Amino acid sequence: MKWLLLTLLMTTTMVVKAQSCVGTWITIDDETGKKKSKVELYKKDGKLYGKIVYLYPREGREENPKCKKCTDDRKNQPLMGLQIVRGLEWDGGEWEDGTICDPENGKVYTCAMWLDSDNKDRLNVRGYMGPFFRTQTWIRVAE
């Protein structure tokens, strides 16, 4: 009986933790430190995906910008609604083995995401290209 309760508790904790990054997050520009966009992370068929749901106004940006530098199915698609996070899988500690697209340069990176252990309203988003990586911190939108 104790074994069953422990298993249920661990499973519930893992499921809650895995789902806790689902929601809307503010992305921050690495260079300026300003808010860039809001990305909605959602689960589909047990995997994590994300799309741009809001673009913060920026000087020089077109009215309805498109992903002009993308080279895959996102090429020339509007940034609003663009799926930039695809197919991340939960490994028990983080979301990994998916991809993230940077619409500014059109590059697609291998991606991992995990919640900050000290602040669950901060999401670490790491994009890899070979042995090189860059990590951003996204901020949860209060809902």
- Predicted local confidence at residue 21, as pLDDT: 94
* Alpha carbon distance 1, 99 (integer Å): 41
In this structure, what are the phi and psi dihedrals at residue 24, rounded to the nearest 5 degrees? -105, 135
- Predicted local confidence at residue 13, as pLDDT: 37
Which CATH number fits the domain that encloses residue 115?
Answer: 2.40.128.520
Q: 99: domain range?
A: 2-140
Provide mean pLDDT across the span 64-86.
97
| Class of residue 61 by CB neighbours under 10 A (exposed 0-12, middle 13-18, buried 19+) | exposed
Using the Cα atoms of residue 47, residue 91, residue 6 and residue 121 in order, give the sign of their dihedral: negative
Residue 11 above 80 pLDDT?
A: no
- Predicted local confidence at residue 2, as pLDDT: 47
For the whole prediction, is pTM greater than 0.75?
A: yes
Provide mean pLDDT across the span 95-117.
96
54: helix, strand or coil? strand
CB atoms within 10 A of CB 97: 13
The closest of 79, 122, 123 to 101, measured between CA atoms, is 79
Rounded (5°) CA angle 55-103-130 = 135
Residue 48 above 70 pLDDT?
A: yes
Q: Between residues 19 and 48, which one has the greater pLDDT?
A: 48
Task: Please tell me the number of Cα atoms within 13 Å of 38 on its side-chain side.
Answer: 12
* Alpha carbon distance 85, 122 (integer Å): 17
- Predicted local confidence at residue 16, as pLDDT: 39
**Among residues of the chain, what percentage have pLDDT more than 70?**
86
Residue 24 above 70 pLDDT?
A: yes
The amino acid sitting at 80 is M
Domain count, the chain: 1
